[in-house]
Amino acid sequence: MILTVTLNTALDVTYTVDALVPHSSHRVGEVTERPGGKGLNVARVLGALGHDCVVTGFAGGPTGDVLRSLLAPLPPRDALVPVAGNTRRTLAVTDRSTGDTTQLNEPGPQVSPAEWAAFLRTYEELAAGAVAVALCGSLPPGIHVGAYAELVRIARAAAVPVLLDTSGEPLRRGIAARPDLVKPNAEELARLTGSREPLRAARDARRRGAHSVIASLGPEGVLAVTPDGVWRAAPPAPVRGNPTGAGDSAVAGLLSALAEGLDWPQRLARAVALSTATVLAPTAGDFDAAAYAELLPRVTVEPHTPTP
């Protein structure tokens, strides 16, 4: 079983319009609602890949009820912890004329100390039976900034590989707890390390405690700095579409390949193919299965040699 943690779950709402024009009214062509938040997106992709997956985190209020009802028929198993506050929504507006997406993210519910303690009990029990753990996304109000560091230490104490995918101070503190893998994007790495050169920044992140660093470079693929070597992986060509959830699909690719015992080049190829296929999908958090199958053998994975 793979465990994904989403402390700040969301109900993802996607609107599709012919063209998004500021300061004007729009007729929405399509509306979709999905259970969201980074870890739930990861779990949904893992389920589509055939992996047994459990999701935990927080859900509450009317929006949380809708989220859980949408999650119920999906492969990931629901182990979300209830909170008194209302789960947030995220709104994505997709412009058909350009393929671009504009996203609005609400804040999450306030989490009390008692609710955090209840979550920790659930997390410790689930982590003990997991083959891998993913800690994903932002922290809702009320959760201390070192929360991910605490969760990393619990997973490591249970000898379970743990992946951390967050940003800012939670990432800085989480890395110090020595996660097995972190997956920041180039901007998050730059904020963490002060360097905008991805290889230098990724190596700095390893020195800060991360065992392996997979730096997302957007349409250019990923850079992996690991104890076994440094690789660049890239899709065969840039694509346009809805990038929502692309990074989460990359995390699912890394976790699924780890659970299957694949080597680093195979893990990276799967991550890049899945993230690219997600950009091509019409709905946030989905991936285009046909595109994924076509892309996977065409992803370029090469040992990375820095330019002198």
What amino acid positions are annotated as catalytic residues? 248
Residue 278 main-chain phi, psi, to 5 deg: -75, -40
Q: Distance between CA 206 and CA 58 in Å, rounded?
A: 30
Contact 35, 88 (CB under 8 A): no
Give, rounded to a whole angstrom, the gap between the first and last alpha carbons of the chain. Answer: 44
The tokens describing 119, both together, are: 């979550």
**How deeply is 199 buried, as exposed, middle or buried, from its count of CB atoms within 10 A (0-12, 13-18, 19+)?**
middle
Percentages helix, strand, coil for the chain (3-state, rounded to 5) are: 40, 25, 35
For tokens 């997709």, name the residue.
Answer: 94
Identity of the amino acid at 114: A
Q: Distance between CA 289 and CA 267 in Å, rounded?
A: 17
Within 10 angstroms of residue 129's Cβ, the number of other Cβ atoms is: 11
Q: Distance between CA 49 and CA 271 in Å, rounded?
A: 12
